């Protein structure tokens, strides 16, 4: 365990009280900071586990029974299961949920998104990264009976099932529901009333106490300080952490990362772009190789239409030419095809539609589709640079680019 700082944050107040606990949860010291002083002293808290308590009046406690097991499914369904209890559209609200209990119930704390952002911004300005943010009433232990904390005009209540609320005395009668408890003989006695444990950090109004005693069996305990009491109860209270989903806690970045983080990212992007370039080049070469292979198959199929299996058209063509005794045709065709393939690697064709070799004239007639006219000109130039004679045909615009035609042969 590490030392803890419990900070009570309230955007409606100018002073924020805090308590420091040792690694065993025992009180060390406490103080009161304005937001300006909080920013000045927060550096001293960097090595403490920070827990922030926020006003329960801004945090609505709800529950729902959702027939789902995964937290992701529950998170998606819960807002619409409790929508009737909400005064705002679910899109404007943040839902922090608890694990589903054995009865299939899921509890949640609902907070306005803008309010959460206000709290987060105060902490970020001070470079504070809390481990958790909790509603104040969730600092009370959830006992077998109702639990109340009186702190001036602030009243915190937590029920046995884990619900809770924060209010002023005038609203207590409206929000505090008395559970039904019966006695064996049917007569109401003090023992048949539900128990209400009141932790008092300040005096309770006599009229309010008298009103409560009508419906509750009251047990009063005096405490010195409300925040010190809540800080000491956190280990047993099992509060719901509001830092979930879009407000999930961010990992701290060390100074080394802050210094070298941007250069490291830039270097990673350069490496990634190089890998992508290599991958694209490899894909293009593979694509061109496949196009040439298909063209070879097309030529062989036209020359020998009865052939069914064409696994290696170049090898099969050599074999056929050798058998036919056409050594001159063989010697002219393959050098011409190799030069054609070499020139084709320098450009990208959309499609090679046909390739025909006329052995008598030593000519190869090629029909293809290129992305643009510049590619056709580049292709012709590459062929001429390989000492080939090129006779260009017509070029026409088609849906997928420009169709091209040319006849090539070795220069005499």
- The conformation of residue 138, written as its DSSP 8-state character, comes to G
Q: Where are the domains of the chain?
A: 4-178+189-252, 263-410
Confidence of residue 259 (pLDDT cuts 50, 70, 90): low
SS3 359: coil
CATH of 4-178+189-252, one of 3.40.228.10, 3.30.420.380, 2.40.50.140, 3.20.20.70: 3.30.420.380
Nearest in space to 7 (alpha carbons), one of 95, 131, 110: 131
Task: Flag whether pLDDT at 114 surpasses 90.
Answer: yes
Taking the C-alpha atoms of residue 31 and residue 33, their distance in angstroms, rounded to an integer, is: 7
Task: Flag whether pLDDT at 406 surpasses 80.
Answer: yes
Task: Express each pLDDT in 167-201 by its tens digit.
Answer: 999 999 889 988 765 544 444 455 688 999 999 99
What pTM was estimated for this model as a whole? 0.59
Are 109 and 135 a contacting pair, CB within 8 Å?
yes
Task: Express each pLDDT in 325-353 by its tens digit.
Answer: 445 555 577 788 888 888 888 888 878 77
Task: Flag whether pLDDT at 354 surpasses 70.
Answer: yes
Please state, in angstroms and as integers, the Cα–Cα distance from residue 131 to each residue in 52, 238, 248, following that order: 8, 14, 10
CATH of 263-410, one of 3.30.1360.100, 3.30.70.1380, 3.50.50.60, 3.40.50.300: 3.30.1360.100
Please state, in angstroms and as integers, the Cα–Cα distance from residue 87 to each residue in 90, 92, 108, 352, 373, following that order: 9, 10, 16, 66, 64
pLDDT value of position 195: 93
Give me 2's structure tokens: 């590490």
Q: Are strands 401-410 and 363-370 parallel, antiparallel or unpaired?
A: antiparallel
Confidence of residue 283 (pLDDT cuts 50, 70, 90): low
């Amino acid at each position: 365990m590490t030392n803890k700082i419990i900070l009570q944050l309230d955007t409606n107040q100018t002073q924020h009280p805090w308590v420091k606990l040792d690694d065993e949860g025992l009180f060390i010291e406490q103080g009161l900071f304005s937001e300006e002083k909080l920013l000045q002293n927060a550096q001293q808290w960097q090595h403490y586990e920070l827990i922030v308590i926020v006003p329960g009046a801004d945090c609505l406690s709800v529950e729902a029974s959702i027939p789902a097991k995964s937290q992701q499914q529950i998170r998606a369904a819960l807002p619409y299961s409790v929508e009737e209890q909400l005064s705002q559209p679910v899109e404007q609200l943040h839902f922090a949920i608890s694990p589903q209990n054995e009865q299939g119930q899921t509890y949640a704390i609902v907070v306005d998104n803008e309010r959460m952002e206000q709290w987060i911004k105060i902490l970020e300005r001070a470079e504070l990264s809390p481990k958790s943010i909790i509603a104040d009433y969730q600092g009370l232990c959830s006992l077998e009976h109702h639990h109340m904390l009186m702190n001036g005009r602030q009243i915190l209540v937590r029920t046995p099932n884990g619900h809770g609320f924060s209010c002023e005395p005038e609203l207590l009668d409206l929000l505090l529901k008395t559970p039904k408890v019966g006695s064996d003989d049917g007569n109401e006695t003090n023992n048949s009333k539900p128990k209400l444990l009141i932790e008092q950090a300040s005096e309770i109004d006599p009229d309010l106490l008298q009103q409560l005693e009508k419906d509750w069996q009251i047990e009063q305990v005096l405490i010195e300080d409300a925040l010190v009491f809540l800080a000491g109860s956190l280990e047993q209270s099992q509060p719901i952490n509001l830092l979930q989903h879009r407000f999930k806690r961010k990992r701290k970045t060390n100074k080394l990362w802050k210094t070298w983080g941007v250069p490291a990212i830039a270097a990673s992007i350069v490496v990634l772009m190089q890998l992508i370039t290599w991958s694209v080049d490899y894909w293009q070469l593979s694509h061109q190789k496949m196009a040439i292979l298909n063209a070879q198959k097309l030529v062989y199929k036209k020359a020998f239409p009865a052939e069914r299996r064409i696994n290696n058209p170049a090898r099969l063509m050599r074999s056929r030419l050798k058998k036919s005794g056409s050594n001159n045709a063989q010697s002219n065709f393959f050098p011409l095809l190799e030069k054609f393939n070499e020139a084709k690697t320098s450009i990208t064709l959309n499609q090679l539609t046909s390739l025909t070799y006329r052995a008598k004239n030593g000519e190869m007639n090629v029909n293809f589709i290129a992305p643009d006219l510049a590619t056709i000109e580049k292709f012709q130039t590459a062929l001429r640079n390989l000492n080939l004679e090129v006779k260009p045909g017509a070029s026409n615009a088609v849906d997928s680019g420009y169709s091209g035609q040319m006849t090539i042969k070795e220069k005499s």
